[in-house]
């Protein structure tokens, strides 16, 4: 387990997150994730995210459809940087927090390249299955 430092592009938001990229990350081919180029690390403990500054500029992507999912996609309201997602989904074991990997500041390039990535098939509502095509993700 590591504690990563993260922030948005403009520096208005800073946070810490407890996890380990070596445990794997996820990209998804659903419409939202494709548009946002989302690449996430699920934290082992949903409480493993600590906001250090910038609560006043945080914004949340509004739900575009009534799919019943409890997911909250947070970003910086000043520069637009994706930061994290929280929610409660049975498929993820209940309450969860996922951090946007590109928002992490202190990860060496070689660690990012070595990070395992699971490409979920969210486009077909089958997130446990590997997507057939991943080059565009």
Q: Where are the domains of the chain?
A: 2-121
Question: How far is C-alpha 31 from the chain's CA centre?
Answer: 15
The string of pLDDT tens digits covering residues 50-91 is 999 999 999 998 765 556 677 889 999 999 999 999 998 887
Q: Radius of gyration (Cα) for the chain, nearest Å?
A: 14
> Rounded mean pLDDT of 94-99?
95
pLDDT at site 132: 86
Q: Report in angstroms the alpha-carbon separations of 125 from 25, 29, 96, 135.
A: 18, 10, 19, 19
DSSP state of 31: H
Q: What is the pTM of this model?
A: 0.87
pLDDT at site 100: 96
Pairing of strands 25-28, 117-121: parallel
Q: Report in angstroms the alpha-carbon separations of 8 from 4, 52, 78, 105, 124.
A: 14, 12, 9, 9, 31
Token duo for residue 50: 């600590």
Q: Which listed CATH number (3.30.1330.10, 3.40.1030.10, 2.170.150.70, 3.90.79.10) goes with 2-121?
A: 2.170.150.70
Contact between 25 and 117 under an 8 Å Cβ cutoff? The reply is: yes
Q: What percent of the chain has pLDDT over 90?
A: 62
Task: Give the whole-angstrom CA distance, residue 40 versus residue 97.
Answer: 10
């Amino acid at each position: 387990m590591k504690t990563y430092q993260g922030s948005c592009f403009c520096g208005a938001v800073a946070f810490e997150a407890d996890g380990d990229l070596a445990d794997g990350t996820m990209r998804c081919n659903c419409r939202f994730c494709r548009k946002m180029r989302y690449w996430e690390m699920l934290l082992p403990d949903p409480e493993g995210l600590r906001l250090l500054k910038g609560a006043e500029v945080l914004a949340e992507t509004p739900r575009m459809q009534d799919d019943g999912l409890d997911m909250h996609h947070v970003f910086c309201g000043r520069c637009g940087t994706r930061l994290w997602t929280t929610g409660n989904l049975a498929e993820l074991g209940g309450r969860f927090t996922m951090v946007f990997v590109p928002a992490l500041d202190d990860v060496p390039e070689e660690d990012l390249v070595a990070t395992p990535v699971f490409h979920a098939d969210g486009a077909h509502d089958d997130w446990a299955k590997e997507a057939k095509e991943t080059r565009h993700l």
